[in-house]
């Protein structure tokens, strides 16, 4: 996988360029930018607007995040995302806030 030069399971810091949807971020690591999908959750359709507002509050532009890739599909990195200096994974935060549902995925989601 070429994304951030990491194999699934590694971690790297990146900067949030844009929150595109309740599950998609645009992040950069210097000269490159990547689309990252939040792993292990699915936004609840009726809560998408609130989820987007919540995620944008948590990740203002230029926020630094740790990415823990667990795979990719169609050129999109699937990763656990955690804001630097924060304890909670953003997927878990969306679930706890009632804006998303957990997905039954591999051990990387536990």
| Cα gap 88→97, rounded to integer Å | 12
The CATH class of 3-98 is: mainly beta
CB 102 within 8 A of CB 95: yes
Element (H, E) at 15: strand 12-19
Tell me what pLDDT residue 85 has. 80
Q: What is the mean pLDDT of the chain?
A: 86
Show me where the domains of the chain are located: 3-98
CB 83 within 8 A of CB 58: yes
Closest CA relative to residue 60, chosen from 12, 16, 13: 16
The pLDDT tens digits for 40-72 are 999 999 999 999 999 999 999 999 999 999 999
In this prediction the pTM is 0.83
Tell me what pLDDT residue 109 has. 74
Other Cβ atoms within 10 Å of 52 Cβ, number: 17
Tell me what pLDDT residue 5 has. 46
pLDDT score of 93 more than 90: yes
């Amino acid at each position: 996988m070429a994304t951030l030069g990491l194999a699934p399971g590694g971690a790297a810091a990146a900067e949030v360029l844009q929150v595109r949807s309740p599950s998609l971020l645009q992040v950069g690591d210097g000269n490159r930018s990547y689309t990252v999908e939040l792993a292990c959750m699915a936004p609840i359709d009726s809560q998408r607007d609130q989820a987007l507002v919540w995620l944008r509050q948590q990740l203002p532009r230029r926020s630094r995040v740790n990415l823990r890739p667990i795979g990719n599909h169609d050129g999109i990195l699937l990763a656990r995302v955690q804001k630097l200096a924060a304890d909670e994974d953003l997927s878990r935060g969306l679930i706890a806030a009632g804006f998303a549902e957990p997905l039954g995925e591999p051990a990387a989601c536990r």
